[in-house]
Structures are given as C-alpha cells and as structure tokens.
C-alpha cells in the first residue's frame, strides 16, 4: 500500500430561488442559492469526494444519500468531517487540498480566506493546507449562462506514522 494517495472530486449544482448560497461552509450574500437535498455546498461536496476517492471509499452519495431524510437541508460541514474521519480511520492524514469553484457570479475573492479557515477548522488542520480558488467559465456552458456552478478538488493524503 502506498504511503501517498491522491483523490479528485467534482460537483455541480443549479442555482435556485429562495435558498442560501453556501460555499466552503460560508454563507455568501447573493440573490440565489444552490438546489440540492442538503445545503448544496458544491465546494465541500467536491472535497468530500476527493477525500473518499483517494482511498476508493466511494463517493458522497454512497455515504450521505439524497434519499435519506436525515440529510435533508443538512450542513455539508458534517459530510466533510465524517469523510475525513473515514480517511483517518484508514490510517491517513491530509497533506493538502487544492480546490476551485467555477461560477460567473457572485465574485468569491472577498470570501476565499474565510472559506479556507472554515474548511481547515472542520478538518482540524492548518489553514495553509487548504487552497480555495475561484474562476469563471468565460460565459460558456451552463456555468457561463448563470444556471449553476461547478467545484473541483484534489487532495493529497499520506500514511499517518505519528
């Protein structure tokens, strides 16, 4: 078994009226939120999938299915905490997270540091292990037309020899 593993996560959500926009565990002021069974935090969902994928543990839907009433409007920080708990139970620890949110609006730059801090706090790791970036899709596709957002994440985990 390798001492290092890499995981990749991807998530998309449509914008929806009468929902809060939650990304990286932070409420972002905007006139729409994201449609989903839980709080629809696409960034945290992508990070969860990356963590789970690094150890071939399935995906977020396997562990927190949208058919389970317990997860209706759930805070995705719970999913992140539990996903990382599974990683730690397998004897690994986080090396780093590199993530990107792709959307046209709103601008995320004013919220990036708070997202990084929130993610680091949930995982109980130093904030310098968490990268969050944002970009647009240059007005192309469903993201470019403002219909929704994408989030991608890559994680490096390593065997915890402490």
What single DSSP character describes residue 42?
H
Q: What is the CATH number of domain 4-159?
A: 3.30.1330.50
Q: In percent, how much of the chain has pLDDT > 70?
A: 99
Per-residue pLDDT at 65 exceeds 90: no
CA–CA separation, 34 vs 144, rounded Å? 15
pLDDT value at residue 1 = 57
Q: Nearest 5°: phi and psi at 152?
A: -130, 150
**Helix residue spans in 55-154 (DSSP H):** 60-63, 76-89, 112-123, 141-144
Give the predicted TM-score (pTM) of the model: 0.96
3-class DSSP state for residue 70?
Answer: helix
Q: Give yes or no for residue 118 having a pLDDT over 60.
A: yes
Which tens digit of pLDDT belongs to each residue from 24-57? 999 999 999 999 989 999 999 999 999 999 999 9
The pLDDT of residue 71: 73
Q: Give pLDDT, residue 112.
A: 98
């Amino acid at each position: 078994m390798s001492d290092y593993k890499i995981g990749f996560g991807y998530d998309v959500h449509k914008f929806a009226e009468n929902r809060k926009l939650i990304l990286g565990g932070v409420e972002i002021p905007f006139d729409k939120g994201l449609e989903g069974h839980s709080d629809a935090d696409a960034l945290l969902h992508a990070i969860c999938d990356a963590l789970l994928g690094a150890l071939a543990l399935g995906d977020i839907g396997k562990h927190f299915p949208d058919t389970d009433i317990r997860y209706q409007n759930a805070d995705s920080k719970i999913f992140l905490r539990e996903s990382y708990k599974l990683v730690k139970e397998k004897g690994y620890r986080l090396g780093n997270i590199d993530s990107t949110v792709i959307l046209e609006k709103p601008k995320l730059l004013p919220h990036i540091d708070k997202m990084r801090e929130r993610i680091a706090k949930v995982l109980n790791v130093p904030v310098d292990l968490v990268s969050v970036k944002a970009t647009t899709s240059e007005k192309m596709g469903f993201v470019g037309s403002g219909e929704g957002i994408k989030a991608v994440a890559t994680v490096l985990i390593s065997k915890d020899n402490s």
